[in-house]
Structure 1
Amino acid sequence: MKVIVVGAGVIGVSSAHYLNAAGCTVTLLDALPGPALGTSYANAGQVSPGYAAPWAAPGIPFKALRWLFDRDAPLKIRPDGSWFQLVWMARMLANCSHAAYDRNKARMVPLAEYSRDCLRSLRAELGLHYDERSLGTLQLLRDPAQLVAARRDAAILERIGVPHQLLDVAGVLEHEPALARVAHRVAGGLRLPNDETGDCRRFTERLAEHAASAGVQTRYGSDIAALLYRNGRVTGVRLADGEELAADAVVLAAGCASRALAQPLRLALPVYPVKGYSITLPLTDPDAAPRSTVLDETNKVALTRFDTRLRVGGMAEVAGFDLRIRPERVAVLKRVTTELFPEAGDLAEVEAWTGLRPMTPDGTPLVGASGVPGLWLNTGHGTLGWTMACGSAQLLADLMLGRPAALPARDYTPARYSRAEKS
């Protein structure tokens, strides 16, 4: 099978690798001059299956109203003038019930767990190194209300068989000793011992290099103008310079750009760009830094330890394709760093970044058949692209080649939106 994969972020590169390994002839296209130069460039660094959860959650509508008046709120909504933004937000609000949250989390966690296992196998097979660590992740809880919510999440994790630990203050400090410096800010924690961390950009670059050496044709700097649709099916792509590339199948793994490419085919993908931020700073005192990832539940910010750097990422802005770096958002990341790990790194040497996460209203990605013959999807992973990349790519390859799949395909296709699931 001749396959074109559109998009060379972590999702697209992983898709190209697994399809090539399955015997397909693969061409990987991206408008940017290399892999991992978009949303995969500087994400929070977590491979966190246990924390795979939809942003649409009980209580979010009320929090969103309160956050309208909070300058440092983790979520900001800025009208982009589009009808789609309003429709997407309405769909997200419809998924904020307890029933919808439980259903969506129960879809997301198995895919994320499967993906982590695929990543481990791939790392061992190829000898990939990307500042990886396998020390678990810790959700830091600062007040009793957060402890109540964490117990509910722990009950879901228990039901679906994900190892976890609810920790008191002493337990938190045992796993993240540097937090002893700010123990007065700690009420408890939820720890996922099987989660991992690593630099997504480095992983993607190294996997892209391996894929190219294994036969994947990479064409960076190739702007895609349109999908080719002939005789009732997608037959390839047309580039901006007019060149046409034929294929038996096309995989849309272009993140937020996937929706625009699919629209001429009357395929309305419910994928919206949710803006996130990160800062990266050099470590000055490794003993004062986190050992792995600490997720600050209060500010929805993740602090992740790389070998010689600290990556601090988070925030969410529903604001269309705006890529401006807003100083006040960067200031929040710096403040959280100072509050939790004040002696860890040099905040005078910060690299600030922003990227657009392709998010669905229910938080679950779109992986598998699009409903249009010849067109396949691997997009909509939101904040969990790094966490779900390898598993989504393996699932996609199995579905495309008609092999037994590890997870139920129906949970990850756009058809779930037309089924009008009850909340």
Structure 2
Amino acid sequence: MKVVVMGAGVIGVTTAWYLAKQGAEVVVLDRQLGPGLETSYANAGELSYGMTSPWAAPGIPVKALKWLFMKRRPLFIWPLISPTMWMWSAQMIRNCNDESYAINKSRMVRVSNYSRDVMPELIEETGIDYDGRAQGTLQLFRTAKQMKGSRADQEILAQFDSPFEELGRDACIAVEPALAEVRHKFVGGLRLTADRTGDCRMFTIALAEKAAELGVQFQYGQSIRSIAIENGRVAGVDTEMAGRITGDKYVCALGSYAPHLLKPIGLKLPVYPVKGYSVTLPVVDDAMAPQSTLMDETHKVAITRLGDRIRVAGTAEIAGYSNRLGPHATDTVKHVINDLFPKGGDLSQAEGWTGLRPMTPDGTPVLGGTRYDNLYLNTGHGTLGWTMACGSGRAVADLVVGKEPEISFDGLTAARYGQ
């Protein structure tokens, strides 16, 4: 069986790996000149199993309005003349209720927990290095109100068997000793002990090399023009440089760009790009730097230790498909690292980055089959692509080769959008 995978980000590469492991002949197409060069390039580095939740949650519309007026705000919305953007936003708001939140979270956790369970097997088998650590995530609360508000989250974490610890100020410092320097700036935290960290791009590059050893053919610099349909099935993928690439089955793992390719063949997915920013800076004092991942609840900014580097990521900007990195775009994430770990890294050497997160209005990725019996989807992971990559890659690969997946696809497919 020959399978054509569209996309060489972490989602496409993990899918290709699991397909090749099961004996499929695999071709991966990507417009970039190597793997992991778009959304996978410089994300937060969190494997956020404990923080797997939809953005569409009760109370979010009110919070979002408040965020828009913060000096260092976590949310920007540009009033574009875009029916697609406003329709997606309206769908998201309709999911901001208790019933939808519970359904959507349960679907997301199903994929996230599966990924948590299968990723160690992949790492053990391949031996790849990706600056990984398994020291959990510390959600840091600057106010007593935030601390109190986390009790509802704790109930949900317990419901889904996600281990956690509620920590006072001193316990937070025991986990992240450098916080002793700024102990007056926070009151406590919530530690998600099952979370891990690692460099997503390092992982993607290393796994692509292992996949190539299994015979996976990576064709970089191949911009995909369209998916060809003949007699109710996918007949091939038309590229600008190599013409039509054919296979027996096809997997679309193109993140935010999947809707552009799928709409002309009648598949309308509400996957919209939500722009995020990060900076990466060198560690200059290990004792003053973070040891794992810390999430600043006030600014919604993640600080992650990646070997001898610090990755600081955050901000949600709804601005269409813009990849512009403005001169002040990373001011918020720079403020947070300087505020909490002022002696840990060298901000003068910070490398800025921006990427587009492929978000669905309900937070759940779009996985599995379509109306075309040889076309499968693996997209729409939002901020959790790195977290869900191994689980969704393995589950979709199983489906493609005809093996019974180890998780249910109920509520995960495009059928929930009437597709």
Q: Kindly provide the amino acid, as one letter, of the partner of residue 57 in structure 2.
A: A
User: Paired residue for 2:146?
Assistant: 146
CA distance in 1 between partners of 2:334 and 2:111 (Å): 32
Structure 1 residue 70, shift from structure 2 partner: 2.8
1:148–1:411 CA distance, 2 compared to 1 (3 A): farther
User: Paired residue for 1:79?
Assistant: 79
> How do residues 185-204 of structure 1 correspond to structure 2 at under 5 angstroms?
185-204=185-204
Q: Kindly provide the amino acid, as one letter, of the partner of residue 372 in structure 2.
A: V
Q: SS of the residue aligned with 1:329? A: coil
User: Paired residue for 1:50?
Assistant: 50
Moved more, 365-374 or 230-239: 365-374
Structure 1 residue 71, shift from structure 2 partner: 4.1
Quick check: 1:28 aligned with 2:28?
A: yes
- Post-superposition Cα deviations, 1:188-232, rounded to whole Å, max 9, x if no partner, equal 211111111010000000000111111001100011100010000
- Post-superposition Cα deviations, 1:338-396, rounded to whole Å, max 9, x if no partner, equal 11111100010010000001010011101111233221100000111100000000110
CA distance in 1 between partners of 2:76 and 2:148 (Å): 25
Q: SS of the residue aligned with 2:323? A: coil
Q: SS of the residue aligned with 1:367? A: strand
Q: Is the 8 A contact 2:269 2:417 kept in 1?
A: no
Q: Is the 8 A contact 2:281 2:350 kept in 1?
A: yes
User: Paired residue for 1:227?
Assistant: 227
Q: Is the 8 A contact 1:235 1:249 kept in 2?
A: no
Structure 1 residue 81, shift from structure 2 partner: 2.1
Gaps of 5+ in 1: none
Q: Is the 8 A contact 2:222 2:242 kept in 1?
A: no
Q: SS of the residue aligned with 1:37? A: coil
CA distance in 2 between partners of 1:31 and 1:183 (Å): 47
1:249–1:80 CA distance, 2 compared to 1 (3 A): farther
Moved more, 164-173 or 283-292: 164-173
CA distance in 2 between partners of 1:66 and 1:326 (Å): 23
Quick check: 1:373 aligned with 2:369?
A: no
CA distance in 1 between partners of 2:334 and 2:315 (Å): 12
CA distance in 2 between partners of 1:265 and 1:149 (Å): 45
Structure 1 residue 402, shift from structure 2 partner: 2.8
User: Paired residue for 2:70?
Assistant: 70
> How do residues 9-408 of structure 1 correspond to structure 2 at under 5 angstroms?
9-241=9-241, 243-408=243-408
Structure 1 residue 242, shift from structure 2 partner: 6.2
Gaps of 5+ in 2: none
Quick check: 1:7 aligned with 2:7?
A: yes
1:298–1:288 CA distance, 2 compared to 1 (3 A): same
CA distance in 1 between partners of 2:213 and 2:401 (Å): 23
Structure 1 residue 265, shift from structure 2 partner: 1.0
CA distance in 2 between partners of 1:93 and 1:145 (Å): 24
TM-score between the two structures when normalised by the length of structure 1: 0.97
CA distance in 1 between partners of 2:329 and 2:274 (Å): 14
- Post-superposition Cα deviations, 1:297-320, rounded to whole Å, max 9, x if no partner, equal 111100000111000001110110
- Post-superposition Cα deviations, 1:266-303, rounded to whole Å, max 9, x if no partner, equal 11011000000000000000111111000111111000
- The count of residues paired between Structure 1 and Structure 2 equals 419
Q: Kindly provide the amino acid, as one letter, of the partner of residue 31 in structure 1.
A: R
CA distance in 1 between partners of 2:144 and 2:95 (Å): 25
CA distance in 1 between partners of 2:24 and 2:32 (Å): 24
Structure 1 residue 110, shift from structure 2 partner: 2.6
Q: SS of the residue aligned with 1:320? A: coil
Q: Kindly provide the amino acid, as one letter, of the partner of residue 408 in structure 1.
A: S
Q: Kindly provide the amino acid, as one letter, of the partner of residue 358 in structure 1.
A: P
CA distance in 2 between partners of 1:334 and 1:264 (Å): 41
Q: Kindly provide the amino acid, as one letter, of the partner of residue 405 in structure 1.
A: P
- Post-superposition Cα deviations, 1:247-273, rounded to whole Å, max 9, x if no partner, equal 111111011111000001111011000
Structure 1 residue 80, shift from structure 2 partner: 3.1
Structure 1 residue 327, shift from structure 2 partner: 2.9
Q: Kindly provide the amino acid, as one letter, of the partner of residue 132 in structure 1.
A: G
TM-score between the two structures when normalised by the length of structure 2: 0.97
Across the aligned residues of Structure 1 and Structure 2, the Cα RMSD in angstroms comes to 1.3
Structure 1 residue 403, shift from structure 2 partner: 2.1
Q: Kindly provide the amino acid, as one letter, of the partner of residue 154 in structure 2.
A: A
